[in-house]
Structure 1
Amino acid sequence: MGRSRGRPLRALLAAAGAAALVLGAAQPASAAPRVTLAVAAPTSGSTVHDTTELRFTGTNLATVRVYRLAHLVATATVTADGTAATSQVDTTAFRDGPVVLSALAWGRGSLLPRASATLLVRVGNATADQHPAGYKLVYGDEFAGRALDRDKWCTRYMYDGGTESAAEQAKIDPSCLGRDPVTGTTLGTLDTLGGNGTAPGQEAQVYRDVNAGGKRMHTVQDGYLSLHATATRLDQPYLKYESAMIRSKREFLPTVSHPLYLTTRVRLPDVLGSWPAFWLAGGYGDGHVRPPWPPEIDILEAPYNKGGNGADVLWTAVQTYYDHDEFPDGPPQGPVRTTYAHPSFDGNAFHADSSIRVRWIEVAAEWTPTSVCWYLDGLKFACKDYKWVANAGPQDTTPATLLLNLAVGGPWAGADGVDTTKFPMTYDIDHVRVYRK
């Protein structure tokens, strides 16, 4: 899939354009409505990376397909009125440099394409994310296949419990399970933080691999993962939705000599009551303790309601929980002090200049043994002191596992209800990467 070398760009454009036009001209004359197609975005010559959205305008569009060197790379979604189309192209399949893409459009009932458009972009994936100088990639998933990589990810929390039957829990990948060293309880089965369904909890969904209607809740296409959420349990009193999450099998812990930079590129749903997140919690470690809580670092939380949690808000946090009598000098994880704050950071959340939803954004955290700094699209907006240590002390502290999940409802995200008219919804994840200095 690499670009041709040694050929002038004009020659590449001419060859691709000519091929597209020949196909378009092959349609016999008929009384069918005229079909037109034009590229609306990105602009020709612009630099793109990762999963890139192409937007088209036109008339009487029924099908639009995108090709590179005669290879189909994407099929666009066309609006009902046939005047616009969008497609997602995974540019990680191409080498960095100039790439020519050709789009062909069909009208309703036409066997051959009836319009074409050509676009030149420059792929720049080598420096696509904003990791600082001196860091090297040690872990990642580009979601470039056709299914979730189960060698890298689990789809339940690392704790015990859950609403699924014993038969359903028996289907969970054994490598995703742990064991409580004291009670012997099997860990890795918890499918919600919303309780057991008999009382309200933090969330109002259960996590599933396949929902009640048979739909897969993790899908991979065009170089990104989609976590789906569906309103398929509305007959239940509290846990009314089904959704998806992922948890990394690999665990991470920074050292003084080797801090970490953790980053993901995501597209958040624009749905009232949704709560997508990217966060860290204690993993299994060597198995001598159950995963402790705290510590916890929230890199991205995006609850969406009408009470100050709008489309422009990105929440962050570091978690502590302690008994004042047991820890009179403060929690083991603290003291938590803000050491840097962008003017748009209010101490807990960053307020962007515009909506951060339904577009690709890059969120990240630079993590050391004593601090965390948060980033949005390369902009550092907050830093806090924080120690990754369990309440019981360093001896019972485990490395962190990475979690990305799409929660729904609950008292925070669902304070103003859940807009089920926009269901099913998705939380899209273009990549997850961990860098070490």
Structure 2
Amino acid sequence: MGMMSLEPVQVHVRRKTLSVGALAAVLILGVATPAAATDPANRTPVTLNVAAPAQGATVHDTTTVTFTGTNLRAVTVYRFLDPVGTAAVTADGTAATVDIDTTRFRNGTVHLTAYGYGAGSSRPRAARTVKLTVDNATGDRHLPGYRLIYGDEFGGRTLDRSKWCTRYQYDGGTESPEEQAKIHPGCLGRDPATGTTLGTLDSLGIAVDEQGNPRQGQEDQVYRDVNTAGRTMHTVRDGFLSMHATPTFADPRYPFLKYESAMIRSKREFQPTAEHPLYITARVRQPDVIGSWPAFWLNGGYGDGHVRPPWPPEIDILEGVYNGVGNNANMVWTAVQTWPYSWADAPQGPVSNTYTHPQFDGNSFVATESLKNRWIEMAIEWHPDRLCLYLDGLKFRCTNYTWVAADGPANTNPATILLNLGVGGPWAGSNGVDVAKLPTDSYDVDHVRVYRK
């Protein structure tokens, strides 16, 4: 059976010339297999084609490769004999997607070979070559003159706990003292006035009414490392972090909290100076789930410990609220916080936009297509008294904003970086929550990087 035409990268074996893809096929299959073949188990034809990206396209970081075909049961992707990805195949066997971590490859041309399996067959029955041009040296869109000082590429198999905490920097929370005692000491602080342990808060979903009773807050989830069903809420694979959510929380004290989810907060804290502004960027993939609220933001950290983490200041780089009623899949919200002051007289101000892109409506950037379930890069160029926000390298908003606590510079702490998957609540959950998509649809983070000029 003849092999399909593959890319002309040549190796020589016993005076016979084979392409790299063909050689891999021979070694794995025993014989070369055409792109469309008949599965001997049920005589059903199996086909496999590369839908995206285009052959030879330049890619970086985690890259999603999409296939189409017929009667596919599974698709695996190899580089030589090294498996680099297993695709998720649709139930009807006509499409598949796989995430490939290209940071494991050197920059330049890379040839991968994808193999399609049919139902009832233990051997692949179709094959395709995927040609990519890897460029990770310029993989993000940071501005000229900035140098990388911190980051996480989310390699390996687990969340790097030396870099990240998984609770807010405040006190309180729904967990028992025994559960809170498991939090890593490096994630904890202490209120200098009261001695209360900080770093235990697991939800912004609890408010207090006039009688002091708990009521629904901003969201309907608590953050956990492992949910009540034993599922790990942070998973790392293929070069990116996934934060999951499940409808599994039940506590009679808080009947309005129904979900368990995940968050990360940087242990390291950052603040720009006039001489050294910062450029902070994250490449993320938001879940396509009504009722979800993925976010990427900056909030005050512990500083030197002489004050509690102050609020405000706060900068919201991405608020991916998706309720389908005014907050749609093609929108990302941004904000700077001055509460309880107005923008005109706030200590952080006067706050005013100095530039807005035509697609920025004053609160959110409105794209021409969905921003869900695809990789996007959100970034901030941050000076002490101003900032600009970017989506995939496009500047869409600049505003004056001073990173200062309400009671003055002396009590201002540097910022910690947060990314979290909120669920439900009065805003995101105003049209319900599509729980059928949880936890498969996750909030994915390919990298977080901090640059300094």
Alignment of 1:74-223 (within 5 A): 74-195=85-206, 198-223=214-239
Q: Contact between 1:24 and 1:114, CA under 8 Å: does it hold in 2?
A: no
Distance 2:406 2:24 in 1: 66
How many Å separate the matches in 1 of 2:452 and 2:86? 37
In the alignment, is residue 282 of structure 1 matched against residue 300 of structure 2? Answer: yes
TM-score, normalised via structure 2 length: 0.91
The aligned residue for residue 259 of structure 1 is 277
Deviations 1:138-161 (CA, angstroms, capped at 9, x unpaired): 000000110000000000000000
User: Which amino acid in 2 is paired with 1:291?
Assistant: P
Q: 1:182–1:121: structure 2 CA closer, same or farther, 3 Å change rule?
A: same
- Confirm or deny: 8 A CA contact 2:40 2:121 kept in the other structure: no
Unaligned runs of 5+ residues in structure 1 are 1-7
How far the C-alpha of 1:75 sits from its partner, in A, is 0.9
Match of residue 48, structure 1, among 42, 52, 59:
59
Distance 1:113 1:306, change over 3 A: closer
Of all paired residues, the percent bearing the same amino acid is 63
User: What residue number does 1:11 align with?
Assistant: 10
Q: Distance in 2 between matches of 1:334 and 1:71?
A: 55
Match of 1:435 in 2: 451
Give the superposition deviation at 1:322. 3.9
Counterparts of 1:415 and 1:23, CA distance in 2? 52
**Cα distance in 2 for residues equivalent to 1:92 and 1:30:** 38
CA distance in 2, matches of 1:305, 1:54: 29
**Secondary structure, in 3 states, of the residue corresponding to 1:35?**
strand
> Unpaired runs of 5+ in structure 2?
1-6, 12-17, 208-212
Q: Do the aligned residues in 1 keep the contact of 2:283 with 2:445 (CA within 8 Å)?
A: yes
- Corresponding residue for 1:4? none
User: Corresponding residue for 1:57?
Assistant: 68
Match for residue 349 of structure 1? 364
Distance 2:310 2:182 in 1: 25
Q: Distance in 2 between matches of 1:65 and 1:428?
A: 21
Specify whether residues 112 and 389 from structure 1 end up closer, same or farther in structure 2 by C-alpha distance, changes over 3 A only.
Answer: same
Confirm whether residue 330 of structure 1 aligns to residue 345 of structure 2.
yes
Q: Is the 8 A contact 1:24 1:104 kept in 2?
A: no
Paired with 1:113 and 1:306, the residues of 2 have a C-alpha distance of 42
Residue matched to 2:3: none
User: Does the Cα contact within 8 Å between 1:207 and 1:243 map onto a contact in 2?
Assistant: yes
2:244 counterpart (201, 225, 228): 228
Taking a change above 3 Å as real, the CA distance of residues 323 and 100 of structure 1, as seen in their structure-2 partners, is closer
1:30 is aligned to 2:40: yes
Q: Which segment drifts farther, 105-114 or 401-410?
A: 105-114
Q: 2 CA distance for matches of 1:301 and 1:323? A: 21
Provide the C-alpha distance between the structure 1 equivalents of 2:230 and 2:452, rounded to a whole number of angstroms.
40
SS at match of 2:123: coil
In the alignment, the residues of structure 2 paired with residue 434 and residue 323 of structure 1 have an alpha-carbon distance, to the nearest angstrom, of 30
Q: Deviations over 1:159-184 (max 9, x none)?
A: 00000001000000000000000000
SS at match of 1:395: helix
Q: CA deviation at 1:323?
A: 5.9
Q: Distance in 2 between matches of 1:164 and 1:54?
A: 41
1:345-399 CA-to-partner distances (Å, cap 9, x unmatched) read 1122111111111100000000000001000000000000000000111110000
Q: Could you tell me how far apart the structure 1 residues matched to 2:157 and 2:68 are?
A: 29
**TM-score, normalization by structure 1:** 0.94
Partner of 1:316: 334
Name the counterpart of 1:372.
387
* Cα distance in 2 between the residues matched to 1:145 and 1:233: 29
Moved more, 20-29 or 408-417: 20-29
Greater displacement, 305-314 / 105-114: 105-114
Distance in 2, Cα, partners of 1:56 & 1:25: 24
